[in-house]
Structure 1
C-alpha cells in the first residue's frame, strides 16, 4: 500500500491541487443547485436528498420527480457531463426522450455550460440512493409524451443567457439568476390552459395552478413590482423573508427558505437590481367589484369590528404593523392587488415567513378559518383592502368559501 501511495505521489505530483479544484467545483455546484432550488422538487419531505418521487400536482395529472443522486441504476450515476448539460439545455433525457415542462428547462436552458458542469459535479458527490422512479399519473391524452413536441414548438426557446451589453454587469448577473437558475417566471407568469406562458407576459403575475396562491406581477408597482422600493428592502426580503415593506408567505416562503437565503450578498443585490428595474410599469387596475354598494357598506362595518377585535393588536389600529415582526397592511401592495387570493388565504390559513439566518424566529399569523364565517372573512379582507388609503376592491363570501379547500402548501 505504501508503494502504491508513493507511486501515486510520483506520477501525479499535482493530485493535491486537483483534489482542491474538485472540491471547489463541488462547492460551487452546491451553491448553484441552491440557487436553482433543486431540493424543493427532488427531495421528499423527510426523504433522502435528491432521491426524487416527490409528487407534483398539475391540471394534467400528477408528475413524480426523478432520482438525481449518483446511483447507477435508478439515478444519474451513468450520465456524462455532456448528457447532463443536454438535459438542462434542451429538455431531453440522454436517450432523447422529452422531459415534461414541469421541469423548468425553459429557464435552465439559459444556464452556462460551466455552471451546468459544476452542478453535475455536486450531484455526483451526494450519497447515491437506490430508489426507482415512480411512473407519472397523467390523464389521457397528456400521458402521450410526444405531445410535448407541440408544447415545445409554442413555448420553448433554446439558448444560453445572452448578456445585455447596454446594462451593467450587476444587472446582467441578476437577470441570469432570475431568468435562469431561479426560474422565477415559472410562477410569476400566467400559465394558460396548455401549461404554457407567453414571453410577452413574462413576470406579469398569475395564479399558480393547483396551489391557489397568486404570484404577483414583478413588472407592476401596483403588485409586487419593486420599482419604488429601496434596494435594501428588496435584498432583505429575498435574503430573510421579511423587510420593512412586508413579508413572504406560501410558496415564496419556501423559495427563500430552500434557496435564496443561501445566496451571497453580491448575488442577492444583483437580483435586487434586476427586479427593481423590472418594476418600471404602472399597469392598469384590473380589479372588478364583486359586491354591490349597499353590501360593501355592510362588509366595511362588520370588517371594522372584526379587525379591531382580531387584528389590531398585532397590525395596529391604523394598519402600520410592528417592524419587523408584524408586516404593515396600510400601503401594502400585496393587500391591494387585483387578485384577493393571498390576503383571503392568510386570514383563513395563517402562516409564517421562513425561518432564515436573518430571521431565525419568525412571528406567524394564526388561522381564522375555524372561527370566522365566509361572510366575516370577506368583511375583514374587504376592510383591509380599502382602508388607510389602500385601493383594493371588495371581496365576496363566495371567494372566501372557494379558498377554504385550497391546499395548505
Structure 2
C-alpha cells in the first residue's frame, strides 16, 4: 500500500512539473505564431516567414517525417521502406534538393500531388501516399507546407525505386482503382456543426489522415465505406483499433479532457498509447496547439457517439474444465511476472502502469497489441506531459509461446474481462507480423 501511495505521489509531482513545462511551451508557441491561427481551417500567412512557420506546424500535424524519414536517416530525405501486400514502397526525398528531392517543384506541383494524387510529371501515385485523405487539405495549407519544405537544407539522397508486385505495377490497374475509389475534393465544413467540430473533422479526415491506419480495407487496398473501423497495420505488425466502436478505441464514454490527455501525453488514467500510435504522439500530436487537439477530441467523441453500435462480434470462451485449467495456469504466470506493476486487481497504478481490468485494448476482438506488448515490452511516448514514462520489459526471452498465450488469455478473461482465448498459433502469427 505504501508503494502505491509513493508511486501516486511521484505521479502527482510529475504532472505538476509537466503542466509547468507544457504551459511554458504553449506560450513559446504563441509568441512564435501570434495571430497566424486566427482562422482554424485556413491559417493566414501574410509574409513568407510566417507562411513557413505555419507550414512547419502543419507538416508536424501531418507527421510528414513519420514516412519521409528512414531510421537513422536525414529528416524528410525519404528512404523508408513501407511494406504492403502490393509491394515495398520507398518513400521519396521531399527536401529541396534539385536532383534527388523536390527542388524543381513549385506550389502547383505540390498541390497536384496532395489534391490529385499525381506527381509533377503527371504520373499517378500509389495510395500508400495518403492522397485520398490529403485531397481534403486546403490550397493555403498546401502552399504553407511547401514553403516550409523549400526552406529546409537540401539533402542529396537518391532513394531506390519502389518494388511493386505484379500485377499491381501495371498502370492501367491503378487508373481503374482511382476511378473506383478515389474522390478528390477539399474539405467542406458542415454548416450545421460548430467551427470547433469542423476543425477537428478537417484534421482527422484530412491533414491527420487517421483513416489511413484506422480503416479496414478491401482486397484492392481501398478503405471501406464505414470509416475508422480499425484494421491490422500492414508492415507494422500492430492493430489500429476502431475509432468508432465502443469495444475498441471509440471515445463515446470518455471526457474531452481525458481524450486530450491521451493524445498529447500518451497516457491517461485508463489507457496508454503503444506501438505506432506512440510514435505518432511523440512526433506529432504532443506539439499541436491546444485548440487543435481539443477540436480533434470533440470530433472523435462525436463519431464515437454516432457509431457506437458498430463493433465486431464478441467471442467469449466456454468455461469448460480445460479452459479453467488454462486460465489458472495463465493466472500463475501473471502473479509471478505482472502483478507487481498491474496489481492483483488488474487496476494498475493510475497514470503510471495502465489498468488491464476493463481495458478495451486488452479485450477487443484482436489480441495482437496485447501479444506484442507482452513479447516486446515498450514505453509510452516521451512527451512534454509525460517526460519520464514508465516502461514494460519484454518477455519473449523468458516465455515460450505457450506461456504467452496462457497469460494473455488470462488477462483477457480476468477481473470481469471477457474475450476470446489466445493460442500458440496466434503468438506465432504475431511474431511474424511485426516486420517494420
TM-score, structure 1 normalization: 0.92
Q: How many residues align?
A: 390
- Counterparts of 1:101-180 in structure 2, within 5 Å, are 101-180=127-206
The secondary structure found in structure 2 opposite 1:405 is helix
* C-alpha displacement of 1:337: 0.3
Find the aligned partners of 1:57 and 1:291 in 2 and give their Cα distance: 38
1:392 corresponds to which residue? 419
Q: Give the CA deviation at 1:404.
A: 2.2
Q: Is 1:405 equivalent to 2:432 in the alignment?
A: yes
Report what 1:30 is aligned to: 56
Distance 1:152 1:23 in 2: 37
Closer, same or farther: CA 291–207 of 1 in aligned 2, 3 Å? farther
Report which structure shows greater RCO (CA 8 Å, sep ≥6).
2
Q: Is the 8 A contact 2:228 2:244 kept in 1?
A: yes
1:163-202 matches, within 5 Å, as 163-198=189-224, 200-202=225-227
Q: Partners of 1:287 and 1:399 in 2: how far apart?
A: 17
Q: For 1:243, what is the secondary structure of its paired residue?
A: coil
Asked whether 1:337 is paired with 2:364, we answer yes
2:351 corresponds in structure 1 to: 324
How far apart in 2 are the matches of 1:383 and 1:408? 27
Cα deviation digits, residues 272-305 of structure 1 (max 9, x gap)? 0000111121335524357883432122100111
Question: Structure 1 residue 360: deviation in Å?
Answer: 1.2
The answer as to whether partners of 1:225 and 1:275 remain within 8 angstroms in 2 is yes
Which aligned pairs between 1:1-400 and structure 2 lie closer than 5 A? 21-198=47-224, 200-280=225-305, 281-288=308-315, 293-400=320-427
Moved more, 397-406 or 112-121: 397-406
- How much has 1:192 moved relative to structure 2? 2.2
8 A Cα contact 1:289 1:395, kept in partner: no
* Residue pair 1:291, 1:396 contacting (<8 A) in 2 also: no
Shift in alpha-carbon separation, 1:295–1:154, aligned structure 2, 3 A: farther
In the aligned structure 2, how far is the partner of 1:368 from the partner of 1:135? 37
C-alpha distance in 2 between matches for 1:381 and 1:122: 46
Counterparts in 2 of 1:370 and 1:295: CA distance versus 1, 3 Å = farther
TM-score (norm 2): 0.86
Q: In angstroms, what is the RMSD of aligned CA positions?
A: 1.6
Return 141-150 or 382-391, whichever deviates more. Answer: 141-150
Against the structure 1 CA distance between its residues 59 and 344, is the aligned structure 2 distance closer, same or farther, given a 3 Å change threshold?
same
Q: Secondary structure at the match of 1:404?
A: helix
CA 1:72–1:284 in structure 2 vs 1: closer, same or farther (change >3 Å)? closer
* Cα contact 1:290–1:396 (8 A) shared by 2: no
How far does residue 375 in structure 1 lie from its aligned partner after superposition?
Answer: 1.8
Q: Per the alignment, do residues 20 and 85 of structure 1 end up closer, same or farther by CA in structure 2, a change over 3 Å counting? A: closer
What whole-Å deviation, never above 9, does each CA across 1:96-123 have from its counterpart, x for those lacking one? Answer: 1111110000000000001000000000
Q: Structure 2: which 5+ residue stretches go unaligned?
A: 1-44
Question: What stretches of structure 1 of length at least 5 have no aligned partner?
Answer: 1-18
Distance 2:366 2:314 in 1: 7
1:22, distance to aligned residue in structure 2 (A):
1.5
How far 1:61 sits from its partner (Å)?
1.6
Larger Rg, first or second structure (1 or 2): 1
Whole-Å separation in 2 of the counterparts to 1:348 and 1:305: 18
Is the Cα–Cα contact under 8 Å of residues 291 and 394 in structure 1 kept in the other structure? no
Deviation at 1:408, TM superposition (A): 6.0
